[in-house]
């Protein structure tokens, strides 16, 4: 696997973030009947607030993850891998990072959600989390909510 690093996104990265998200989610438009939520997100404030991390492979942005610290958990609200980097383990690298980051923040639970029509994502997340705790409509989307218990305070600050 080529050399990679994960770093916080910067303002200059916003257009690349939008491109990666658009490419990663555009095939769902027909299935959902509209753009998936990640495609309509305003990434500039998320980058500014330190919620977006990038996976950089040999100076090219290969993927991203959006993480939001909540009172009792870490919320993974988006993970996307650039088309040319898909299928090479980079998504797994980002998901592993989310677990490490949760521990660093003293969180013992990782939560995420996905659209119930995104079957490919559901399979991946069911392996990662193993616990589905809710299905509900949120912001006009039918979502599946999942969580994973982590080792308590394993890497806490």
Domains and CATH numbers, the chain: 4-110 (3.40.630.30)
Q: Which of 28-37, 54-63, 107-116, 124-133 has the least mean pLDDT?
A: 124-133
Do 20 and 66 touch, CB atoms closer than 8 A? no
**Average pLDDT over all residues of the chain:** 93
Predicted TM-score (pTM) of the model is 0.91
Task: Please choose, from the candidates 106, 79, 84, the residue with its C-alpha nearest in 3D space to the C-alpha of residue 95.
Answer: 79
Report the distance separating Cα 10 and Cα 131, nearest Å.
33
Which residue has better confidence, 89 or 155? 89
What gap in Å lies between CA 77 and CA 67, rounded to an integer? 6
Residue 155, pLDDT score = 52
């Amino acid at each position: 696997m080529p050399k990679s690093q994960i770093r916080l996104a910067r303002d200059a990265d916003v257009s690349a973030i939008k491109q990666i998200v658009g490419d990663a989610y555009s095939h769902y438009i027909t299935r959902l009947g509209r753009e998936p939520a990640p495609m309509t997100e305003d990434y500039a404030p998320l980058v500014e607030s330190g919620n977006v991390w990038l996976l950089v492979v040999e100076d090219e942005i290969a993927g991203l993850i959006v993480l939001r610290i909540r009172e009792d958990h870490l919320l993974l609200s988006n993970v996307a891998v650039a088309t040319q980097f898909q299928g090479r383990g980079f998504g797994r690298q980002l998901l592993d990072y989310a677990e490490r980051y949760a521990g660093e923040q003293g969180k013992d639970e990782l939560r995420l959600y996905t659209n119930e029509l995104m079957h490919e994502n559901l399979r991946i997340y069911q392996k990662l989390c193993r616990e589905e705790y809710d299905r509900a409509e949120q912001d006009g989307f039918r979502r599946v909510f999942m969580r994973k218990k982590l080792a308590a305070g394993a890497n806490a600050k």
